[in-house]
Amino acid sequence: MSSDLRQLYQEVILDHSKRPRNFGQPEGSCFRAEGHNPLCGDQVTVYVRVEDGAITEVRFEGRGCAISTASASLMTETLKSKTPQEARELFELFRESVTSDPSSELDGEQLGKLAVLGGVREYPMRVKCASLAWHTMRAALDGSEEPVTTE
Amino acid sequence: MSYDVERIRKDFPILERQIRGMPLAYLDNAASTQKPLPVIEAISKYYTSTHANIHRGVHTLSEEATALYEGARVKLGRLLNAAAAEEIVFLRGTTEAINLVSQAWVRPRVGPDDEILISHLEHHSNIVPWQFVCEQTGARLVVAPIDDRGEIILEEYERLLSPRTRFAALSHVSNALGTINPVAELIRLAHERGVPVLLDGAQAIPHLRVDVRALGCDFYAFSGHKMYGPTGIGTLWGRTERLEEMDPYQGGGEMIRSVSFEKTVFDDVPHKFEAGTPDICGAIALGVAVDYLQDLDLEAVGQHEQELLRRATEQVSELSGTRIIGTAAEKAGVLSFVLDCAHPHDVGTILDGAGVAVRTGHHCAQPVMDRFGIPATTRASFAAYNTEEEIDRLVAGLRQVLEIFG
C-alpha cells in the first residue's frame, strides 16, 4: 500500500470508522440537522446539546464511508465543552486544513486529534466525506432558534 | 483469428498512463470509454485542415465540412441499420435525445391520467425528463418492477401496459447492473397495445449489435463518448414517420427553410431538430468511432467482454463478504458489487491507489440502489481494451480492501 493510502487510512481512522463514538440518537431535546452527500448517498444526522452556552453533547447517526464516519466520530469527541462559536471556528480551521496543500504543515496544536484526517488532502474527492458531519453540525447550531425535539 | 487485445490497447494512448505510480487499469467504461488514436486524430485533422460552418457556404471548406458531417450521419445510420440516414439526429447525447422526445413528441400527446411506462432499472436521464412531462400534463409515471436479479418482471410489464399507457421508455442495457433487457419482447408487448417505445441505448451500443429495424422500436438514443467517440455528441434515431410527427423544440438557424416575421417554415428532418451550429467536429469524430468499432468486430468485442465479466464475477464472488448486485442471466460487461466491510468510496480510493479506476456511487440510478437497499455500489465495467490481468489487479486491490477493513 502506498504511503498516501496509509496516511489516509491510519489506525485511528479505521478504529473510529469501525467503532464510532457517540453514535445514535440522544435522549432529551437538542439541536439537530441532517446532512446528505448526493454524490455517494451518504447521510448523517448530527445532534448537538448546548447548555449554559457550552456544548455538552454531540452525537450522530447515519451511514457513510470510513472517512465520513471517522470524521463524524472524531468531531463528536472534539466539540464537547466548546462554545458554539468555538465549534464554528474549529470547523473553519478543519476545512482549511483538509483543503490545504498536501506539502504544507498542518497546525497539529490547534487541530489536535483531527490532524489524523490530514491524509484527505491527497484525495480532493474525499474532502466532502470528511466535512459532511461538520457542515451538518454547523447547520444544527444555525437552526438553534428552534431546537428540534428528538423524542 | 484470436482476439488481439494488446494490438487494440496500442490504439489508446491514455492506457500508457501511470496512476499514483501504478499502470492504469481503466475499468470505468460504463461512465465513459477512452478514445482511440483515429478518433483523436480526426478531431485534430478536422480543425487543422477542414473546419468551416456547414450547410451554408459555397466555399470549399464549407462543402468539405458539410460532406464529412453528413457522411458521419450515413455511418451512424448504417451502424443502426436505419432505413435512411435522415433518421439520425445529432444531439449532445442520450440525455438531450430523451429530453427532445419527451418534450417534442410525448408532451403534446398526453394529458391527465394518461400513463408513461418506464422501468425500475432506468438511469436518471430516463426518469427525470418523464417526470417533467408528467408535471406539465398531469400524466402519471408508471414504473415496471424488477426482481432480485435485476431483471424486469415480464408479466408485470405486460400488466402495467394499460389502456392509458401512451408511451414507454426503457433502457436497452442497465448502466448500474448491466442487465440486458429483452427489449424485442418488451417492444412487441407495447406495440401490440399501440404504445410507442424509446430505447435508451447508451450502455448497449458499444457492446451489442443494434438493429433498430429488427428491434422495431420508435426511438433509440445514445451517446458518443461511451462508444469510443468524443463527449458532447450523441444520436437520436427515430423512425421517419415519428420524426416527421414531432415538432422542433429549439428554434434558430440551421433548422429552417425560410423565415419571415409572419411565418417560418421548418426544414425537413433531421435538420429541424439541429438548431444552431452543431458539434460538427464531434459528429465527424463519432463517425470515425463508428468505423473503429465496426473494424474491431462487435461480436468479438462482446465475447471478449463476456469473458472478462465471467472472470471478474467468479473471482469477486469468491472474496468473503461480497455481494454482487445484478445477477441477470443476460448481462453486458458490468460488475456492480458491495463489500460488507467497506463503503464503495473507500473501495474506490484504495483501488485508485492500485491504479485501478472504477466507479463508486449510485451511478445516477438511485431507484436501483433503493431497490437493493444500498446507498451505492462499486462498479467495474469493461471495454474492448481491458485484459484479464486488469481483472486480476482489481481482485488484488479488493483483497487489500479486505485486509484494511476486514
Between chains, do B375 and A67 touch, taking CB under 8 Å as contact?
Answer: no
pLDDT at B1: 56
Which chain B residues are closer than 8 Å to A2 by Cβ?
20-21, 353
ipTM of the complex: 0.88
Whether the per-residue pLDDT at A39 is higher than 80: the answer is: no
Q: Which of A5, A41, A126 minimises the CB distance to B375?
A: A41
Between chains, do A65 and B20 touch, taking CB under 8 Å as contact?
Answer: no
Between chains, do A5 and B353 touch, taking CB under 8 Å as contact?
Answer: yes
- Verify whether residue B364 is a known catalytic residue: yes
pLDDT at B60: 95
- Put simply, whether A130 touches B (Cβ < 8 Å) is no
Strands B88-91 and B140-144: unpaired
Non-local (6+) Cβ contacts of B308 within 8 A are B333, B382, B386, B387, B388, B391
How far is Cα B12 from Cα B16, in angstroms, rounded to an integer?
A: 8
Ordered per-residue pLDDT tens for chain B, 406 residues: 579 999 999 999 999 999 999 999 999 999 999 999 999 999 999 999 999 999 888 899 999 999 999 999 999 999 999 999 999 999 999 999 999 999 999 999 999 999 999 999 999 999 999 999 999 999 999 999 999 999 999 999 999 999 999 999 999 999 999 999 999 999 999 999 999 999 999 999 999 999 999 999 999 999 999 999 999 999 999 999 999 999 998 888 878 888 888 888 888 899 999 999 999 999 999 999 999 999 998 999 999 999 999 999 999 999 999 999 999 999 999 999 999 999 999 999 999 999 999 999 999 999 999 999 998 999 999 999 999 999 999 999 999 999 999 8
Q: What is the pTM of this model?
A: 0.93
Is residue A43 within 8 Å of residue A64, measured between CB atoms? yes
Which chain A residues are closer than 8 Å to B343 by Cβ?
40, 42, 64-66
- Put simply, whether A1 touches B (Cβ < 8 Å) is yes
Between chains, do A42 and B375 touch, taking CB under 8 Å as contact?
Answer: yes
- Average pLDDT in chain A: 89
pLDDT at B228: 98
C-alpha cell, A106: 498542518
CA-to-CA separations, B122 to A19, A125, B115, B142, B145, in angstroms, rounded? 36, 26, 17, 12, 11
Between chains, do B405 and A66 touch, taking CB under 8 Å as contact?
Answer: yes
Which chain B residues are closer than 8 Å to A4 by Cβ?
20, 353
Whether the per-residue pLDDT at A146 is higher than 50: the answer is: no
Q: Which of B353, B376, B400 minimises the CB distance to A41?
A: B376
Is residue B305 within 8 Å of residue B384, measured between CB atoms? yes
Which chain B residues are closer than 8 Å to A129 by Cβ?
345
User: How close, in Å, is residue B344 to chain A by CA atoms?
Assistant: 7
Strands A54-63 and A42-51: antiparallel
Between chains, do B362 and A67 touch, taking CB under 8 Å as contact?
Answer: no
pLDDT tens-digit series, residues A65-122: 999 999 999 999 999 999 999 999 999 999 999 999 988 888 888 888 999 999 999 9
Q: Quick one: closest CA in A to B400, which residue?
A: A1
Between chains, do A40 and B345 touch, taking CB under 8 Å as contact?
Answer: yes
Is residue B246 within 8 Å of residue B228, measured between CB atoms? no
Q: Quick one: closest CA in A to B378, which residue?
A: A40
Instruction: Reduce the secondary structure of chain B to three states and give it as a string.
Output: CCCCHHHHHCCCHHHHCEECCEECEECECCCCCCCCHHHHHHHHHHHHHHCCCCCCCCCHHHHHHHHHHHHHHHHHHHHHCCCCHHHEEEECCHHHHHHHHHHHHHHHHCCCCCEEEEECCCCHHHCHHHHHHHHHHCCEEEEECECCCCCECHHHHHHHCCCCEEEEEEECECCCCCEECCHHHHHHHHHHCCCCEEEECCCCCCCCCCCHHHHCCCEEEEECHHHCCCCCCEEEEECHHHHHHCCCCCCCCCCEEEECCCCEEECCCCHHHCCCCCCHHHHHHHHHHHHHHHHHCHHHHHHHHHHHHHHHHHHHHHCCCEEEECCCCCECCEEEEEECCCCHHHHHHHHHHCCEECEEECCCCHHHHHHCCCCCEEEEECCCCCCHHHHHHHHHHHHHHHHHHC
Q: Quick one: closest CA in A to B361, which residue?
A: A40
Which chain A residues are closer than 8 Å to B376 by Cβ?
40-41
Q: Quick one: closest CA in B to A16, which residue?
A: B405
Between chains, do A65 and B345 touch, taking CB under 8 Å as contact?
Answer: yes
